[in-house]
Amino acid sequence: MNVPVKNKNPLRETFLNRFLREFFGNSAWFPLANILLEVLLEGFSQYVIRPDIYVLFSAAALQAYILTRWNTTDKPRRLLGNLIGPLLYTLVEFSIEGFEFFYSLNHVAYWVFSLIIGSLQFLSQRTRSNTLQGVFTLLENISRASILLVMYAIFENASSPNQYFDLGSFLSDPSHVFVTIAIPILGLSLGISDVIVKRYQTQLQEVSGKLKTYSEWSLGPKLLDQLLADSNALALRRVQRTVLFMDIRGFTRWSEHHAPEFVVDMLNQYYRESEEVLISLNARKYKFNADEVMAVFEDALTAIQAAEALQTRVSKWLAPYELGAGIGIHMGHLVEGLLGTRGVRIFDVIGDTVNTAKRLESAAERGEILLSETLFNAHQTGIATNQPREISVKGKTNSLNVYPLART
8 A C-beta contact, residue 285 and residue 295: yes
8 A C-beta contact, residue 1 and residue 299: yes
- What tens digit of pLDDT does each residue of 325-334 get? 999 999 999 9
Q: Distance (Å, rounded) from C-alpha 202 to C-alpha 193?
A: 14
- What tens digit of pLDDT does each residue of 153-185 get? 888 888 776 655 577 777 888 888 999 999 999
- What tens digit of pLDDT does each residue of 261-281 get? 999 999 999 999 999 999 999
Q: Has this prediction a pTM greater than 0.75?
A: no
Please say if the pLDDT value at position 2 is more than 50. Answer: no
Q: Distance (Å, rounded) from C-alpha 167 to C-alpha 202?
A: 42
Give the pLDDT confidence score for residue 178 in this predicted structure.
Answer: 92
Higher pLDDT, 400 or 160: 400
Q: Which of 86-90, 341-345, 359-363, 382-386 has the highest mean pLDDT?
A: 86-90
- For residue 100, give the DSSP letter: G
- What tens digit of pLDDT does each residue of 25-64 get? 999 999 999 999 999 988 888 888 888 899 999 999 999 9
Give the pLDDT confidence score for residue 74 in this predicted structure.
Answer: 85
Mean of the per-residue pLDDT values of the chain = 87
Rounded to 5 degrees, φ, ψ at 312 are -65, -45
Sign of CA dihedral 47, 49, 50, 51: positive
- What tens digit of pLDDT does each residue of 217-246 get? 666 667 777 777 776 777 788 999 999 999
Give the pLDDT confidence score for residue 217 in this predicted structure.
Answer: 61
Write the DSSP assignment of 53-93 as a string of letters.
Answer: HHHHHHHHHHHHHHHHHHTTSS---HHHHTTHHHHHHHHHH
Neighbours of 290 (CB within 10 A): 12
With residue 153 as reference, give the H or E element that holds it: helix 130-159
pLDDT band of 358, cuts 50, 70, 90: very high
Give the pLDDT confidence score for residue 12 in this predicted structure.
Answer: 65
Give the pLDDT confidence score for residue 161 in this predicted structure.
Answer: 61
Please say if the pLDDT value at position 394 is more than 90. Answer: no
Give the pLDDT confidence score for residue 34 in this predicted structure.
Answer: 94
